[in-house]
């Protein structure tokens, strides 16, 4: 008598076990995110990366102008998007895009720098601190107070350009019928406000930023001016109230640069960097 009925078919048992594992796996995949074991403050886990509620709220505020207080119900579409984004980021890193793609590399660098300097960008120093910074960096806040210009005028741009070229070549120049000196312009250092009365504020502002001894051509009221900066005198602003916002911006920029330099130096100390010397 055959005993086939009394012994279970091992192949059927194996198949049943396999189907059971598949079913269990499908169940896990279809399991709602809310039932997964996650740390406090986390909304999802993508491989080993946690998507926090803070990240979700920031994205919610940025994309839909909704605050955390208003976000009573979880926006699953938005959470799915964050999950998709994280999957793409992880895949891009796996493919080496952070090392090979210049756009991606620059985005990573910019984002990291922004996070490093965020505290400095939000710094709110006192007026005493800003005043001290102003005094320690007076040269950064200096301005041209007085200026000495040589000015010639003509109706022809080409004549003005040729005249300037001769000045730059250190040739002897003499005013003639085609180009004439602005005789009433004072031949000495004068306040920039006074100089502006002769040639206009835009020309004064431009020449004030030129190196001493340099020259340029400017158009003014239908004529062409050949202008040489003979000398200038700088002055520093010491009253914080006059340039407080400018000093604050410089203070924050200086603090951010110091933070970034310190951070990069720490990275260098921990890294193994080898440089080929020529």
Q: Please, how many CA atoms are within 13 Å of residue 114, restricted to the half-sphere of its CB?
A: 6
Number of independent structural domains in the chain: 2
203 neighbors 178 (Cβ within 8 angstroms): no
Write out the residue range of the structural domain in which residue 98 sits: 33-111
Residue 247 lies in a domain: no
pLDDT of residue 252: 96
Same domain, 107 and 163: no
Coil, strand, or helix at residue 85?
A: helix
Coil, strand, or helix at residue 241?
A: helix
Residue 272 lies in a domain: no
Average pLDDT over residues 256-271: 93
In the structure, what pLDDT confidence band is assigned to residue 71 with cuts at 50, 70 and 90? low
Distance CA 254, CA 141 (A): 14
Q: Is the pLDDT of residue 190 over 90?
A: yes
Same domain, 185 and 144: yes
Residue 265 lies in a domain: no
Same domain, 100 and 152: no
194 neighbors 147 (Cβ within 8 angstroms): no
Same domain, 151 and 87: no
Mean per-residue pLDDT over the chain, rounded: 84
Which among 121, 118, 137 is positioned nearest to 247, based on CA atoms? Answer: 137
Q: What is the pTM of this model?
A: 0.58
Domain end residue (candidates: 93, 111, 129): 111
In the structure, what pLDDT confidence band is assigned to residue 14 with cuts at 50, 70 and 90? very low
Same domain, 181 and 143: yes
pLDDT of residue 66: 59
In the structure, what pLDDT confidence band is assigned to residue 169 with cuts at 50, 70 and 90? confident
Residue 118 lies in a domain: no
Same domain, 176 and 228: yes
**Top-confidence residue, 70 or 50:** 50
128 neighbors 176 (Cβ within 8 angstroms): no
């Amino acid at each position: 008598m055959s005993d086939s009925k009394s012994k279970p078919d091992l192949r059927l048992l194996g198949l049943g076990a396999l189907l059971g594992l598949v079913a269990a796996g499908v169940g896990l995949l279809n399991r709602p995110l809310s039932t997964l074991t996650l740390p406090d403050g986390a909304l999802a886990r993508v491989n080993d990366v946690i998507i926090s509620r803070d990240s979700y709220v920031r994205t919610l505020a940025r994309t839909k102008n909704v605050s955390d207080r208003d976000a009573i119900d979880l926006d699953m579409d938005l959470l799915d998007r964050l999950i998709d984004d994280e999957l793409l980021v992880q895949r891009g890193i796996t493919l080496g895009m952070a090392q090979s793609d210049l756009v991606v590399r620059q985005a990573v660098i910019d984002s990291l720098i922004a996070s490093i300097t965020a505290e400095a960008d939000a710094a709110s120093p006192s007026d005493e601190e800003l005043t001290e910074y102003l005094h320690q960096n007076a040269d950064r806040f200096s301005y041209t107070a007085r200026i000495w210009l040589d000015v010639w005028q003509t109706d022809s741009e080409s004549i003005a350009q040729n005249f300037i070229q001769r000045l730059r070549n250190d040739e002897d120049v003499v005013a003639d019928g085609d180009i004439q000196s602005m005789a009433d312009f004072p031949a000495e250092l004068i306040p920039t406000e006074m100089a502006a009365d002769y040639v206009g504020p835009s020309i004064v502002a431009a020449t004030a930023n030129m190196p001493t001894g340099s020259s340029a051509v400017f158009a003014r009221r239908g004529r062409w001016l050949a202008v040489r900066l003979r000398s200038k005198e700088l002055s520093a602003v010491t009253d914080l109230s006059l340039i407080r916002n400018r000093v604050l911006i410089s203070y924050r920029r200086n603090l951010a640069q110091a933070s970034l330099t310190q951070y990069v130096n720490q990275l260098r100390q921990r890294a193994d960097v080898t440089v080929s010397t020529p």
